[in-house]
Amino acid sequence: METVRIALMGAGTVGSALAELLPGHRARFAALGLEVELARVLVRDPSKSRPGIPAGLLTDNPEGFLDDVDVLVEVAGGTTLAGDLVLQALEMGLPVVTANKALLAERWDELRPHAEEGNLYYEASVMAGTPILGALQSLWGNQTLEMHGIVNGTCSYLIRRMEEGASYDEAFQEAKSLGYLEADPNLDVGGIDSAHKICVLGRLTVDPGLSWEKVMHRTRGIQHLTPELLQKARAEGYAIKLVASLFPEQGEWVAAVRPVRLPESHPLVTLGSGRNALVYKGDPVGPLVFAGAGAGGGVTASAVLGDLYRALLGLPGHQPVPSAAPVPAQAAEPFEEV
Amino acid sequence: METVRIALMGAGTVGSALAELLPGHRARFAALGLEVELARVLVRDPSKSRPGIPAGLLTDNPEGFLDDVDVLVEVAGGTTLAGDLVLQALEMGLPVVTANKALLAERWDELRPHAEEGNLYYEASVMAGTPILGALQSLWGNQTLEMHGIVNGTCSYLIRRMEEGASYDEAFQEAKSLGYLEADPNLDVGGIDSAHKICVLGRLTVDPGLSWEKVMHRTRGIQHLTPELLQKARAEGYAIKLVASLFPEQGEWVAAVRPVRLPESHPLVTLGSGRNALVYKGDPVGPLVFAGAGAGGGVTASAVLGDLYRALLGLPGHQPVPSAAPVPAQAAEPFEEV
């Protein structure tokens, strides 16, 4: 039996859920000759108790955090300390599993060579447990035409509550008290979380060098939406949704995030309520639809654990598309921006 | 530039479509330092012309077919000659890309060691271009609970036509004249094609040794359905569909194929008309939905080409689940069999 030692960065909802999932997989790891254990857990406040994690493993000291471990799992978020530790681990040759879409989107130039070598595993970074990265990696035989997703559940919640008549501020306060909002709520309502995600997906499908700055430049949030606007759209047979899209425009790939009007029969509407959903269109495959839960500690941890299996079995991580795809002439689905 | 030589077995709709797709990917392969060419193409009748394939490459001689090639692409179907050539290539250490679900289902004992080594690529074998294998491979962090799919478009077509009032025989003759039926139509209407596919999916998710004989034993087709039965179900708010399922039963994983009554609001009904669809339920991820075209030459060839990219880049093929998953106690979705 080979012992595998995990350095876990972050013990919030996802980190705690992962720690709680691991014991249930002990027998399956044992069947592979592996005993998986948490070596240490890096947190901001080691005095706070964390479900499923022995207090003795908690530390707030990044020095020596990676000593004698076999893999880094990073579910802390943020682009500074998390990014530095992820890069340190990768440079040491450790596989890294991360759920951190902000880091992937914003520090890609540093991460990309390691991703191309197959050392970076990030299924959990987009649509949480819905295995969209695994799916998109199988589509390189297509000419990608366009891709549209609802990838931020918090915005979907706010929009639904406003459709039911709540004001933006009421809906926002509800989401806050339910724990749905990021520490910086602008990540959600400003569309930035969605922008991070479409940026990650774009690099897996059309351009391994897709620029985060360009995506940010085309990102708008939902702060200007009102119950009146949403209800008027519904009365006309449309639903307004915050959609992250990738499409061709004047010979370039564009990734953009903005609220759009969708016909109520569109799969992003029929499937998207209370879950994430994504439509991919390629030639020759045609339209594909993926949907599932896009948030939640356990849901996200399931994708982290799936990546951990792959890392421990020596299977490669998530590879960006190997070369930039041609930009099609076809116009994108003509959504009306709101 | 490295030249990669493909041995292509089969030049029917999928093989011809692949040959027609390849030139459009020349630049992308070149960016990876690869020049991909067809070395030779094995067919039953080399005198017949095949779109996109120079006549000089056609041969009906399996002797020497694998000489001096780098990869075998098998899209001929059948379990005898195709199986022998696939195994011969694998034993020579060649990567093999195949769309052949019958072969995978029925000769798994011989293929499994090569699949576990990562030398076998078979995204095209289930749901054609819809990347269900890539998706399911990312779900090992879940306890699988159940899985239900509409994975045979021909049966969906026959059922739709009978709902519209055609008799079984009329619908069957239409499907035949449209080229929708396999050479042996019992593969479609007897549920065997669906059984092949759920068998492949079950090995990727819950049991790498799932027995084909047991799946066959639980397989029923649609030959007993009538317009009256289908229309009565619709009048009651249900749709009858041929569903391939994987679920726990008395402490064992069972894979089964049979027509069932589904509520009209079920995602397999709302998404399944004219396309393949699959619902996966796992803990903690919850329900996931995948849908897309499940047949067609180009659609299937896109998955073959995607696999070819992965094989040529040295990325591993489709791995069965690394160890058998525990069988959950939860009862499966209680579909009513018809």
Task: Calculate the CA A337 to chain-centre distance.
Answer: 24
State yes or no: pLDDT of B55 exceeds 80.
yes
Interchain CB contacts (distance < 8 Å): A and B: 191
State yes or no: pLDDT of B334 exceeds 80.
no
* CB distance A318 to A121 below 8 Å: yes
Chosen from B138, B264, B308 to mutate, greatest number of chain A CBs within 10 A: B138
State yes or no: pLDDT of A29 exceeds 80.
yes
Considering chain A, what is the average pLDDT of its residues?
95
What's the pTM? Answer: 0.96
User: Residue A183: pLDDT band by 50, 70, 90 thresholds?
Assistant: confident
Chain B nearest C-alpha distance from A112 (Å): 16
Query: What is Dmax (Cα atoms) for chain B?
Result: 63
Of B138, B304, B316, the CB nearest to A303: B138
* CB distance A242 to A222 below 8 Å: yes
Domain range summary for chain B, segments of one domain joined by +: 2-131+296-312, 132-293+325-337
Sign of CA dihedral B195, B318, A287, A191: positive
Q: Considering chain B, what percentage of its residues have pLDDT values greater than 90?
A: 91
- Cβ of A319 and B302 within 8 Å? no
- Contact residues on chain B for A271, CB-CB shorter than 8 A: 267, 271, 289
Element (H, E) at B204: helix B192-205
Of B28, B286, B322, the CB nearest to A325: B28
Of A139, A271, A309, the CB nearest to B131: A139
Chain A nearest C-alpha distance from B14 (Å): 12
**Which CATH architecture describes the domain A132-293+325-337?**
2-Layer Sandwich (3.30)
What does the alpha-carbon distance between residue A9 and residue B136 come to, in Å, rounded to a whole number? 27
State yes or no: pLDDT of B331 exceeds 80.
no
- Cβ of B290 and A286 within 8 Å? no
- Cβ of A139 and B302 within 8 Å? yes
- Contact residues on chain A for B315, CB-CB shorter than 8 A: 118, 316, 319
Neighbouring C-beta atoms of residue B13, cutoff 10 Å: 18
State yes or no: pLDDT of A332 exceeds 80.
no
Of A284, A291, A319, the CB nearest to B299: A284
* CB distance B204 to B121 below 8 Å: no
State yes or no: pLDDT of A119 exceeds 80.
yes
Task: Write the pLDDT tens digit of every residue in B200-257.
Answer: 999 999 999 999 999 999 999 999 999 999 999 999 999 999 999 999 999 999 999 9
In chain B, % helix, strand, coil (3-state, to 5) comes to: 40, 25, 40
Q: Which two tokens stand for residue A76?
A: 């802390």
* CB distance B320 to B116 below 8 Å: yes
What does the alpha-carbon distance between residue A47 and residue A25 come to, in Å, rounded to a whole number? 28
Encode burial over A85-101: b for 16+ CB neighbours within 10 A, e otherwise.
bbbebbeeebbbbbbbb
Task: Write the pLDDT tens digit of every residue in B136-164.
Answer: 999 999 999 999 999 999 999 999 999 99
Sign of CA dihedral B223, B227, B230, B233: negative
What does the alpha-carbon distance between residue B201 and residue B223 come to, in Å, rounded to a whole number? 25
What does the alpha-carbon distance between residue B305 and residue A141 come to, in Å, rounded to a whole number? 5
State yes or no: pLDDT of A58 exceeds 90.
yes
Pairing verdict, β A2-9 and A34-42: parallel
What does the alpha-carbon distance between residue B269 and residue B330 come to, in Å, rounded to a whole number? 24
State yes or no: pLDDT of B269 exceeds 90.
yes
User: Residue B51: pLDDT band by 50, 70, 90 thresholds?
Assistant: confident
Residues of A with a known catalytic role? 197
The correct answer on CATH 3.40.50.720 for the domain covering B2-131+296-312 is yes
Task: Calculate the CA B231 to chain-centre distance.
Answer: 30
Q: How many CA atoms lie within 13 A of A334 on its CB side?
A: 2
Q: Which of B48, B101, B176, B197 is catalytic?
A: B197
Q: How many CA atoms lie within 13 A of A199 on its CB side?
A: 27
Q: Give the residue from B13, B333, B28 showing the smallest Cα distance to A321.
A: B28
Predicted pLDDT of residue B134: 96
User: Residue B197: pLDDT band by 50, 70, 90 thresholds?
Assistant: very high
Pairing verdict, β A252-263 and A238-249: antiparallel
Task: Write the pLDDT tens digit of every residue in A238-247.
Answer: 999 999 999 9
ipTM reported for the complex surpasses 0.90 = yes
Q: How many CA atoms lie within 13 A of A235 on its CB side?
A: 7
Chain B nearest C-alpha distance from A330 (Å): 16
